[in-house]
Structure 1
């Protein structure tokens, strides 16, 4: 199973040449992760950050850009879980438009507790992440 999200390329995403300015991709990738946490894990960022005073920062990110994306295109984001660690989560995201690969990104998120240090994932999140990954592996 994979999580899918479509994001239109808007003027605010683009440089003067009308192509996506690369830092905007990272905002869209993070938006996809945020929506994944809310939609699939039922653990929205507002709960994590505001209610629980915890965080899920990105500890590592690696991106390969295959082709430019242009103003007006619709980008398809596909997120998959590669590995669930004690306090980390490794994700793979692929971005395409019209069937053409645009970007591949791997990132590692870490659960950070109230004390500002890495801590184990809460059981409610870990269980759903593992189920999502197992469902993906079986497909």
Structure 2
């Protein structure tokens, strides 16, 4: 499974390119660290839909399954700047009963910029308690994990 210190990521892992916009930056034109988490949440939404084949918005809306973060952290290797395009790759570390742990590696022209680690927990949006990963999500995560090996 993925490790935060890995500098190489699986070639078969899902990847997306994210532009760094004016709104992501502080007055010096450097990505403000808190904005990275908003930017990375967009990566997670896209990964669900494009990489896993799971409709993120349907999961939260009609299915009423929360996809919240119990833990989120990042190691910032180099600053990101307005106008950069970051290539973000998602790697799954662990699939639990009601949670999953994954990393997002962000690079600029193959230069490491940051590695973020997330623990996502599935919850009932009615009771606000953890629930087992839905079967379709678990199956998609297991398929994804296997192709990234």
Q: Same fold (TM over 0.5)?
A: yes
TM-score band by shorter chain is over 0.9
Number of residue pairs matched? 137
Which residue does the alignment assign to 2:41? 30
Q: Deviations over 1:18-68 (max 9, x none)?
A: 011111111111111111111122222221111012210011112110110
Runs of at least 5 residues in structure 2 that lack an aligned partner in the other structure: 1-11
**Aligned with 1:105: secondary structure?**
strand
Tell me, in whole angstroms, the C-alpha distance in 1 between the residues paired with 2:127 and 2:54: 20
Q: Determine which of 115, 130, 133 is the counterpart of 1:104.
A: 115
Runs of at least 5 residues in structure 1 that lack an aligned partner in the other structure: none
Counterpart contact for 1:96–1:102, Cα < 8 Å: yes
Structure with a larger share of its residues in helix: 1
Q: CA RMSD in A?
A: 1.0
* 1:16 aligned onto 2:27: yes
**Aligned with 2:45: secondary structure?**
helix
Counterpart contact for 1:35–1:44, Cα < 8 Å: no
Large movers: runs of 4+ above 3 Å: none
Q: Determine which of 25, 48, 55 is the counterpart of 2:66.
A: 55
With normalisation by structure 1, the TM-score equals 0.94
Deviation (angstroms), 1:120? 0.6
With normalisation by structure 2, the TM-score equals 0.88
Tell me, in whole angstroms, the C-alpha distance in 2 between the residues paired with 1:52 and 1:110: 15
Which residue does the alignment assign to 2:50? 39
Which residue does the alignment assign to 1:130? 142
